Amino acid sequence: MISIELRAFTEEEYHRFFRRYRPDPMMDPSPFHYNREQISRSYLYNHGGFRENYVHLGIFLDGEPVGSFQLKRMDSAKKSCEFGIILQNDKVKNRGIGTEAIRKGMGIASSQYGMKWMFGDTMGRNTRMIHVFEKLGFELMERIPDAFVLPDGNREDRLVYRKLISEEHE
């Protein structure tokens, strides 16, 4: 199993992550252009306490930022949250880094925030993420036809998954 660290970004680490970021063309065919001012504003927004019920963590491999992991829409009454994950580029994909980050994120959601359920979604054509959901024991809850409109005008289904991550927080 690959050893990664999930922790808060410093602003400089956030910039290092985005300087090497390349979007997955399957998910977003638009090229990404690093802009220091824009990334600084994004860092402040995501890490400055402006977003309620939201935690943004870096995924680090050997001390270098290689991904971004978010716990979103944390609902303490329902004890549920969603997660989001972005890996930096193709060099860090298909190595188990994302799977391990989600595992660690489930632990953080449960132990630090009292979450019981975790939800995630993906496009129907994202077979890599579907495999990760299945490997980690998430169950498909809903398929929403044509929910995503792609830049070329085509539409794609949205698949919504969930997993019970803790029974301790009843």
Question: pLDDT: is 152 or 22 the higher one?
Answer: 22
Question: By C-alpha distance, which of 131, 80, 139, 141 is closest to 106?
Answer: 80
User: pTM here?
Assistant: 0.92
How much is the pLDDT for 168? Answer: 55
Give the model's confidence band at 147: pLDDT under 50 very low, under 70 low, under 90 confident, else very high: very high
Q: Is the pLDDT of residue 169 over 50?
A: no
pLDDT digits (tens, 9 = 90+) for 18-53: 999 998 887 777 889 999 999 999 999 988 877 889
Angstrom distances, CA of residue 84 to CA of 56, 68, 72: 9, 8, 7
The CATH architecture annotation of domain 5-164 reads: 3-Layer(aba) Sandwich (3.40)
- Kindly give the pairing relationship between strand 80-87 and strand 117-123: parallel
- Residues, the chain, total? 170
pLDDT digits (tens, 9 = 90+) for 85-123: 999 999 999 999 999 999 999 999 999 999 999 999 999
Residues 146 and 111 sit within 8 Å (Cβ to Cβ): no
How much is the pLDDT for 82? Answer: 98
